[in-house]
Amino acid sequence: MQILALNCGSSSVKYQLFDWNKMEVVAKGMVERVIIGDSFILHEVPGREAYRCESDCPDHQVAIDLIIRTLTDPEHGVLEEISEISAVGHRVVHGGEKFTRSVMIDEAVLDAVKEVQHLAPLHNPPNISGIEAAKAVLPDVPHVAIFDTAFHQTMPEHAYLYPVPYEWYEFHGVRRYGFHGTSHLYVSKRAAAILGKKACETNIITMHIGNGVSHCAIKGGVSVDTTMGLTPLEGAMMGTRCGDIDPAIPAFMMQKENLSAKEIDGILNKKSGVLGITGRFTDRRDVIEHANNGDKRCNLALEIEAYRLKKYIGAYMAIIGRLDAVVFTAGVGEMGWPIREKAIEGLEHLGICLDKERNKGAMTRKRETLITTDDSPVKVYVIPTDEELVFTEDVAAILSGTYTDHMNFEYTFSRPDFVRK
């Protein structure tokens, strides 16, 4: 059974083809610059050189058609014909309160996703376009929606409600939803397996750090709080997003600079965070390099980011109680050892004892690594995330009729004998 996972952004489509019988990735890649021109596909097959092809993609349907043509190409493909694809899993960023787990997509589900697209105006519209485009290209196979927000629907009311007029929640859905749910699910299950415990017996803080950043407090295997809120703007400092700030700042700056609501929203989402402090960088590798060379603002950006990471670790420990582990994941979490060091050092009084040499050695996206000392009461791991595997397993389980909520469904990666390929 071949399962295709799709992640449609506003100007890109990421994909991965997974052979369920062999339990391995057959091919993966991305179509970039969809809609905006000069589009191209970058296609990767294990054991082969990466293949790049320029091809104009004015919309998502053309992009997905390009993916299918590449997968079935006699020279560069891995399938003989399109009918070998058994199902498609779609990432959907925002499911609102309606969806607590992955579901088969029908018209009612698609309508429900459209109803909450105002809550994620940058993400849900391209997700919807991708679903509609894929159903047009692959009309005869099941399509499944996997929601970023679903994992966080276990948060208690006192954690997800904001202290604003209650009518805002009743009539407009203003509440904390959280994102990166599939990533938090994957790495928390892996951490429990590494610890030799059942997920329901573990308390873990997961730190997803990429251009977008979110953390999750996981108690007894379920999400009880997370940093992103109504939108992905809240929480930690990010590549271009400000994260937590005084809510009076936007109105203050709108008056001072004569900015519109759209303009201030754009600044907080696209010109703040690491970019706002450094004035030129979002990639932490650039920031670290220039900080090492004496750039004061790059060093300041690292200090601010690490300081805020450390604050959330402490805050979530207060919520969770006994803590088993902290997990770093995603691009910066997996590769940015200086940021991890700054965030963790000095937490010995909380039972976290960093091994600096282990931490420096954890610079790969292919290995799960312990970066605390052997006698550290709280373990800290670097665990590469695999959201596409969550997509794939949800799709396979839904097709077989064995799928249920994540606490009662056994993922392959939650088993002690799981080996990442």
* Alpha-carbon span 251 to 258, nearest angstrom: 10
* Alpha-carbon span 412 to 48, nearest angstrom: 27
Q: Are 189 and 199 in contact (CB under 8 A)?
A: yes
Instruction: Print the SS3 string covering the chain.
Output: CEEEEEEECCCEEEEEEEECCCCEEEEEEEEECCCCCCCEEEEECCCCCCEEEECCCCCHHHHHHHHHHHHCCCCCCCCCCHHHEEEEEEEECCCCCCCCCCEECCHHHHHHHHHCHHHCCCCHHHHHHHHHHHHHHCCCCCEEEEECCHHHHHCCHHHHCCCCCHHHHHHHCCCCCCCCHHHHHHHHHHHHHHHCCCHHHCEEEEEEECCCEEEEEEECCEEEEECCCCCCCCCCCCCCCCCCCCCCHHHHHHHHHCCCHHHHHHHHHHCCHHHHHHCCCCCHHHHHHHHHCCCHHHHHHHHHHHHHHHHHHHHHHHHHCCCCEEEEEHHHHHHCHHHHHHHHCCCHHHCECECHHHHHHCCCCCCCEECECCCCCEEEEECCCCHHHHHHHHHHHHHHCCCCCCCCCCCHHHCCCCCCC
Handedness of CA 319, 321, 326, 329 (dihedral sign): negative
- Active-site pick, 106, 111, 140, 148: 148
CA neighbor of 208 nearest in space, from 220, 191, 194, 195: 191
Active site residue 286: no
Residues with Cβ < 8 Å from 123, sequence gap 6 or more? Answer: 9, 10, 93, 94, 232
HSE-CB for 86 with a 13 A CA cutoff: 15
Catalytic residues: 148
